[in-house]
Each structure stands twice: as structure tokens, then as C-alpha cells.
Structure 1
């Protein structure tokens, strides 16, 4: 999980500058498809690897997925070399990287099978803390301390981290008792919403900061890399707090509190006031000026592009809003993430969980496929006010759904009277 997280976050903050540098025809909408390609590949692979791990040794799907991941990252590193269609090579490479990342389902099912009910929350939180540590080291290695024109080196650095080992455990036979399918489906829906929200957040961060704060591509990569590192540190503290909170109040209240905090984070991010973003007018100049400016490699137009018409009437988002929102989402998302699949693993009980974990990962990957596409289109056409309002509505709907099925989100053994909650 640590290595997968490092590999992902090395790329994500520099993906937009790399895409622009490699292919001039790439726009923010295509960025959404590139980000979504990773999750689409993971969505397809997760149930397959999960099914594989149920009937064979887990080492086999892990080794296969790591080989795919390694090859795909080499492809990504050199995607800008072909003379034409660079953006499509980047798109395809990210899809294969995502396919290799489908091994997350195998790892989660292994942890679920190797721990008791009492140990489950701690084990899942520790695993998430490893992800968060990778979330810190990825941007630190890929963004803040490297020059922008070397963003294509990210894929080469990822090649060095594709290794994982695993100890086998015996599979437990299927119990006679049935799983609460309503609780299982609801957990998938809640996990979908949580991952959709974070996919929107991670996709829009760089374009939003460039539009609102008139940052250059290099500045956006640098500052957002620092912000993601800080969120990673924050997430580790949240995971430690989650273990204590879950023992005292239970998993469901922590999940509910996390959703409420995420709602506050996106609500704060809504644009208010009478201050408007700087408009990027450079492309409206005469041809001689455009050619003169384009020949100057040090010049880069900054601000909100004029072809995004909402820039002219939508208030700017202030840096304080942006940082406050990042902080709140950095608290709410880790809590919701770890509680979602902790509850899910407890609902499933002692049966082999490879396929079920595959479907949970697939639902999260589906969210991370649709999220970038959604936000890239809505943000480009309508602006941040519409995009973040819709997200607030989704989070509110998740809170309502959780309230309705709250009494059913209990452990398998509690439901069948083996233990007392």
C-alpha cells in the first residue's frame, strides 16, 4: 500500500504540466480523462485479482500486477517521445498503471483474513497510515524538489519502487450464515461517494490554483506538492486518532463525523465576495505579439483563461479558503476511507474476501474514474461554484444514507449473535 501510494502521488501533482508540455492540444477536460484512466484500469483489474486470490496463492496476482505496473510506468516515462499523439500515449500508460494497481483488493483481503475482529480497525488504520506516508514521500520526491521540465522523470523513478512481498495465511471455509447484502451494498455506495469526492479534490487542485491564484505551472506543482505532503502528515495523525476514537465510540460515529467534516471543507471552498480572479488575456493579442511572447521561453500566461466564461463573473477563491478546505478534507477523507473498508470487512465476516474486496476497490475506482471526468467538464464549463455545490449535495446525501442504514452496519459476528457490539 505504501509503494502503491508513492507511485501514484509522484505523478499526480506533475501530471497536468507534463501533459501540457508533451502535447499542446491537451486541455483541462482531457486531463480529467487521463486521471480517470488510472481508476478505470484499477476498476477492471480489482475484481479479477480478487477472484484470483480466492482460488490461488496471493503471491501470483501480486507478482503479475507489479510486473504490469512496472512496465506501464516505463511507458509513461517515455510517453512524450513519439512525434504525434503524445497525450494518448500518456492516457494509455496511466490506464495500464491503474490496472496494475488492482492488487489493492488482494492486500486488503489478506489483512482482513489475517486479523481478528478486535484487531481489524487497528490493522486497517495502520495500513492506511502506510498509504499516507507514501502520500507524503511521493510529492516530495516528484514535485517540490525537482525542476518542472523534468516532470517526465517521474515515471523512471517509479520503476524503482515496484516490489512487494507477502506471507500466506490459510483461507477460512465459507460460513453457513449469510452476509447482510443491504449493508454490503450500502458500504460500496458510501465508499464510492468518499472516493468520488477525493478524486474531484486531487484532480482540480492544480488547475484551480493556477486559475485562482495566477500561479505558473511550476509554482502550482511546487505549492500543491507541499500541500499534499502536509495533508499526508495530517492523515497519519488522523489515522492514529481514528484508532482511539473507534475503540471509544465505534466505527460508525467516526465515519459520520468524517463525512460532516468533508461537507464543511467543500462548503468553505465555495466562491464568495466581490473579488474576481485575474483573467488570462494574452491569447487575445495580435499575432506578432503572440509569436514574440511564445518565442520567449521564460514567459508564461497566468490567471483564469478567458475562454472559461465563468472567470468573468465568478468570485475568486482566496488562498485562506483553499488552505482551510485542504485541512478539513485532509481530516475527513482519511477517517471516512479507513472506516469504510474496516466496516465492510467486518460486515463480510470470516469468509474469503478477495472478490468482495475486489468489488469495493472497483467501486472506489469507478468513483475515481467518474470524478475527474465530472469535475473537469463542470469546472471548465460552469466553474467552481457549481462543481463544489454538487459535491456538497453528494456528501449530504451520503450522510442521509448512512443515517438510514446506521443500525445495519454491524459486524458479521454481532449480527449473528456471536459477540456483543
Structure 2
């Protein structure tokens, strides 16, 4: 990185993550009516299983891709692998109609598994951004790439509007049926191919990982505010000087005070013209890392609720047909996408990240998601009941709880979803990614970014299963209650642990020093240093 932020690479990564996320999210609103067309007996629980399978693919692929990238010092080989898997998943999705009814569910499972595994490349991209950005620029760089991915995920479902003119039946081309449900898969395959070609020519994928030597290992243990190699040399020199003085001082000078002054004078003579600040290693705060990972998981759980049961929920709540639900949800997703782009522009092209901390943004965003679920909850005390005639006793879903479900205001739901998911979700995504990267500190992050993505994928596995099961066997009130409780717990944890959720470089070094070794500090702090050395020699 050579001390500067490689904005060309960051912009390239942002474009790639945008289109990659875009093609993955094409099917969010069309998936439910598509599988109903293939087999009307596939209910919300099956949709949850399919969403979970996608998460399994991501959870397995992400840490493997991250470790692979760290091992070879490049990200292109694992990224190419992910693109091939994604392309195969899209091709299989395109051909689902050609499979017989008994085989189709298995084809859907394989398709979504491959597509989920294809998203395992995001940790590699985050690691490359972290490697290509300075500490002061990292928040903006990660917001640029992470925000671009979220924009893609957000507006991808709205692309469905472009293909609605083709209708549900579409045009048959042999075993292939091009319809409003399958045409997005063709575009997704084109994006996969174009991405693979473009990154070959426009992306510098080196993670700049030098081979580990004894000197490098020592360098990892020392933090310097100025020259890394010179600082390490000074630290080693000072350490050896202390050992030399201690072993060679005549007995007459070995009183505690005399020996202490001799060591200090010797070390200060070596450092009198230097300003670097040296200390023992700053270790990442494991608790802060776990909180960041857990928060991302809960965020993904909250979004998986809408992804897995959003379509059937709106059909029941507002008495929509498949076509009406698809149209309304696509239009609303367009608004969410526009707001997400606006937030992305604020993060990427203004100094907003310097005005408001990542911690504050995360807490505000989590609170916003909590408010969404509170105001869109079909509380039992609300008046009226939804029209459930076509959802009860028809041999497919049999949602008997529907008769007791109070209705929501249609405009309240769609306005709240557009505003909160369009603003709070990108805020949380951008700020949490930046905070997590800075909590990890400098150095290669491929493995830890892959682990973070894998942990988040657990929510993509459990979320759809839990949400679709509670939706089918209980009611939407149960799924909303689960999200309200989990978000409330996360808010409480953030309030309690707020002070420790800071970048590694801002932590108080005195709290993490190894007491077995003295700290070496600037000459302006010589007094405190003398005291620490003198004490250590007593």
C-alpha cells in the first residue's frame, strides 16, 4: 500500500461488488410466485429452507475463499471460483421449469446453494479494500465498496420491473421458458461473465502480504507512529542495551536507584533524536470483534425475515394476488434503492464519516430497525381481521391463524419499509463494516473477513428457517416478536459496550501492555518511562 490509499482499486472493487450483489438479489420478490408456478404445494417453510441453503453455501465458501486469498496473497483465484459457482446457479435457476415436478425441488436447492456460495467472495473484496486503504481513509473506502454492494442488493429486486412485461407464462424456447421470472437469470449470467473479464484487466488483486521472517514477526509486535522498520530496530537496540547494562554493571553500581538511572540514561541517549512511539503489540479486542460479528448476524436475520416471508406476508395482509404483491414490492424496493444510493453517496463523497462515528451510526441504525418492527407489528389489540378466504383449507398452505390476524395500514408498512430499510440498513452496513475492519487493525484481514461473512451467513441459514417456520405454524406476530426481542438485546449490548467499540489504534495502550516488558515512549514522556523502568528493576 506504501502509505497511500489506492482509490482506483477501491472504485473498481466498488463497481464489481455492486454488480455481483445486483445479480444475486434479482429473485427476492419473484422467487415466491416462481416456485408457486412450478409447484403450488411449496409453502413458506420450503422458501425458508431454500433461503437457508443459500446461507449454507455462503457460510462454507466465505472462510475457504478468505483463507485461500490470505494464503496466496491474491484474491482473483477464489473470486473466479465464486463467479463460476454463481453462474452455474443462475443457469440452473433459468432451467428449473424443464425439470419434472418431483425433481424440481432438488434442482432449486442446488441452484440456491451455488448462488449462495458465489457470494462468498465478499470477504475477499473487503480484505483487499482494507489492504488498499490507510486508517484515516478506511471508513470511506469500506463504505464505498460495502455501500456499493448494499446498493446492488437493494435495487436488484427492483430490476424485476423491467421484465414484468413478459408475463408469468413467457415464451417457450425448447426446454427453456423466458418469462418475467426467468429472464433476470439470463441477465445475471451475463453479469457473471462480464465481471470475470473486467477484473482480469482492471483490478490489482495483490494483498501485499510479505513472507514471514524473524524480523517480520518482531515487527508485528511493535506499533510505530512513524517509521516501522527504524522503530523496530530502535526497540531491539534498547532491549539489548537494557540486558547488556544489567549484566555488565559493576557490583558497586548495582543499587536500585543507580542502576535505574544508568539504564534510562543509556536508552535515552539512543532515542534522544527520535520521535516514534513504540509499544508491545496492540491485540484486537475479542469482545468488540464478537459484538460486531453478532450485530451483523442480527442485521441479516432481520433482513432475511423480509426476504423469506415478505411476499406471502403482503399477500395475506393486503389481500394481494401474486402479480399485485410482486408489483407493489418491486416499486417499494425501487424507493429503497434510491435512498440506499443517497446514503452511499453521503458516505463515499462527503466527510460524514469524520463527523459522526461508526459507533453512533450503528446504534442509530439498529434502533431504526427496532422501530420498524414495532410500528409494523400486527399487534393483537389492532381492530379488524384480514381476508383469509383463499389461504385457509385450499389444500396448499392452510394458514388457520389468518382468521385472527389484524390488518396493517398498507401505506404505513410500505412507507416505513422504504424509509427505514432505505436509510438505516445502509448506515448499519457501511459503518459496521468500517468499524469491524478498524477493530481488527492493520495487516491481512482475509481470514477474519471470511469468518465474519461466515458467521453472518449463519443468520442467513437460521433466519429463513426460523422466520418461515414461525410464520407457517404460528403467525406473523411471532416472527415480528422474534425480531423485536433480538434487536432490543443488541441495542442493550451496544449501550453497555459502547466505549470499547473503537478502532484498534485508538485504544489506550496502557491497558494492553504486557507488564513483563517496559514501554518505550517519546522523550516528552521520559519521566513516566524512567519510573516504569526503575520499578521494573526493583
SS in 1 for 2:26: helix
Residue by residue, what CA displacement relative to the aligned partner does 1:233-264 show, whole Å, maximum 9, x if unpaired?
11122234456443113110111111111111
Distance 1:307 1:74 in 2: 33
1:280 Cα deviation after fit? 2.4
Alignment CA distance shift 1:373-1:306 (3 Å) = closer
Distance 2:390 2:150 in 1: 39
Distance 2:30 2:441 in 1: 41
Assess if the C-alpha contact under 8 Å between 1:136 and 1:230 holds in 2: no
SS in 1 for 2:143: helix
**Partner in structure 2 of residue 296 of structure 1:** none
Alignment CA distance shift 1:179-1:132 (3 Å) = closer
1:160 aligns with 2:197: no
1:63-74 to 2 correspondences below 5 Å: 63-74=80-91
**Partner in structure 1 of residue 317 of structure 2:** 212
**Partner in structure 2 of residue 314 of structure 1:** 405
Residue by residue, what CA displacement relative to the aligned partner does 1:131-164 show, whole Å, maximum 9, x if unpaired?
2442355234334542233112332221000114
Distance 2:496 2:355 in 1: 23
Q: 2:160 aligns with which of 139, 142, 151?
A: 142
1:414 aligns with 2:516: no
Assess if the C-alpha contact under 8 Å between 2:130 and 2:445 holds in 1: yes
Unaligned runs of 5+ in 2: 1-16, 170-178, 211-215, 222-280, 511-538
1:71 Cα deviation after fit? 1.4
TM-score, L = length of structure 1: 0.90
SS in 2 for 1:351: coil
**Partner in structure 2 of residue 356 of structure 1:** 448
**Partner in structure 1 of residue 4 of structure 2:** none
**Partner in structure 2 of residue 264 of structure 1:** 371
1:20 Cα deviation after fit? 0.9
Distance 1:398 1:306 in 2: 34
Alignment CA distance shift 1:70-1:416 (3 Å) = farther
1:330 Cα deviation after fit? 2.5
1:281 Cα deviation after fit? 4.1
Assess if the C-alpha contact under 8 Å between 1:200 and 1:375 holds in 2: yes
Distance 2:392 2:435 in 1: 52
Distance 2:29 2:359 in 1: 32
Assess if the C-alpha contact under 8 Å between 1:139 and 1:226 holds in 2: no
**Partner in structure 2 of residue 297 of structure 1:** none
Alignment root-mean-square deviation, CA: 2.1
Unaligned runs of 5+ in 1: 291-304
SS in 1 for 2:483: helix
**Partner in structure 2 of residue 275 of structure 1:** 384
Assess if the C-alpha contact under 8 Å between 2:57 and 2:113 holds in 1: yes
SS in 2 for 1:203: helix
User: Looking at CA atoms only, which structure, 1 or 2, has the larger radius of gyration?
Assistant: 2
Distance 1:353 1:9 in 2: 26
TM-score, L = length of structure 2: 0.71
1:2-401 to 2 correspondences below 5 Å: 2-56=18-72, 57-83=74-100, 84-135=102-153, 137-143=155-161, 145-146=163-164, 147-149=167-169, 150=179, 151-162=181-192, 163-164=195-196, 165=199, 166-169=203-206, 170-171=208-209, 175-176=220-221, 177=281, 178-242=283-347, 244-272=351-379, 273-281=382-390, 307-326=398-417, 327-401=419-493
Distance 2:186 2:119 in 1: 17
SS in 2 for 1:12: coil
Alignment CA distance shift 1:143-1:38 (3 Å) = farther
Range with bigger deviation, 253-262 or 133-142: 133-142
Distance 1:282 1:11 in 2: 23
1:128 Cα deviation after fit? 3.0
SS in 2 for 1:275: coil
Alignment CA distance shift 1:123-1:216 (3 Å) = same
Range with bigger deviation, 272-281 or 99-108: 272-281
SS in 1 for 2:98: coil
